């Protein structure tokens, strides 16, 4: 009798697990649509921010919030997620922001910025500092022909570009070159104070964390 009960209990648990999985897939189908995984045949490099799936919280323009494992395609600026049964999907409705919670790509990414010169309102930027004067980071990838040493012909290679932008209170975008002279020009209103801060803080302009420290200080002045 105990063996029979154990078999029945095990069977019920398996059915419950399958049912829960099916329900999750059904829910995912409501806000997602199936897509094909990007193939890069005869192309060197990866189109993604990171090759690993990463836990993320995604916010749609409708206000809907979901949690999924995602991959961010920097080649086409598309966010993918993976269903419970391992299928590739994109989001059926526009995504306004997402926060990757783990891995080397961890951070907040947001669009809907008025930056017609450098992108569109659907372009995602990593929000490094979200204050009165914001600091945004734009990463994108492209396919280029790279001639290797002693090679007979170039190799198609995916390469990445990184740009930084300061966004003022009125939404004006200014590209930021991570160098002292450019930073002081952008922060001209508090140039004396910022220059003193730079002299004492040993800011590394190539480090995102140091740029955040600098923008945090500048925002305390404006």
- Tell me the pLDDT tens digit for each residue of 166-184: 999 888 899 999 999 999 9
Instruction: Give the predicted TM-score (pTM) of the model.
Output: 0.83
* CA–CA gap between residue 111 and residue 20 (Å, rounded): 33
- Tell me the pLDDT tens digit for each residue of 42-70: 888 999 999 999 999 999 999 999 999 99
Half-sphere exposure of 6 (CA within 13 A, CB side): 3
Confidence of residue 104 (pLDDT cuts 50, 70, 90): very high
* CA–CA gap between residue 143 and residue 4 (Å, rounded): 61
- Tell me the pLDDT tens digit for each residue of 106-162: 999 999 988 767 778 899 999 999 999 999 999 999 998 877 777 777 788 999 999
Half-sphere exposure of 192 (CA within 13 A, CB side): 0
| pLDDT given for residue 145 in this prediction | 85
**Lowest mean pLDDT segment, chosen from 30-44, 79-93, 114-128:** 30-44
User: Would you give the DSSP letter of residue 37?
Assistant: P
Contacts with 77 (C-beta within 8 Å, 6 or more apart), sequence order: 122, 123, 124, 140
DSSP H stretches of helix in 79-222:
180-186, 191-201, 208-221
| pLDDT given for residue 109 in this prediction | 98
| pLDDT given for residue 125 in this prediction | 97
């Amino acid at each position: 009798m105990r063996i029979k009960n154990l078999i029945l209990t095990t069977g019920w648990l398996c059915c419950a697990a399958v049912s829960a999985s099916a329900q999750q897939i059904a829910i995912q189908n409501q806000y997602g649509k199936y897509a094909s995984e990007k193939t890069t045949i005869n192309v060197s490099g990866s189109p993604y921010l990171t090759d690993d799936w990463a836990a993320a919280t995604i916010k749609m323009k409708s206000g809907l919030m979901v949690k999924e494992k995602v991959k961010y395609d920097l080649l086409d600026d598309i966010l993918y997620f993976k269903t419970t049964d391992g299928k590739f999907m994109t989001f059926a409705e526009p995504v306004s922001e997402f926060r990757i919670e783990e891995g080397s790509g961890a951070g907040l990414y947001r669009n809907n910025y008025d930056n017609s010169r450098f992108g569109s309102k659907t372009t995602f930027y990593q929000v490094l500092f979200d204050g009165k004067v914001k600091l945004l980071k734009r990463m994108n990838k492209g396919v280029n022909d790279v001639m290797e040493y002693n090679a007979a012909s170039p190799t198609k290679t995916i390469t990445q570009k990184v740009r930084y932008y300061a966004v003022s209170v009125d939404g004006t975008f200014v590209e930021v070159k991570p160098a002292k002279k450019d930073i002081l020009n952008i922060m001209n209103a508090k140039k004396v104070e910022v220059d003193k801060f730079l002299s004492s803080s040993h800011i590394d302009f190539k480090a995102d964390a140091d740029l955040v420290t600098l923008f945090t200080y500048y925002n305390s002045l404006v």
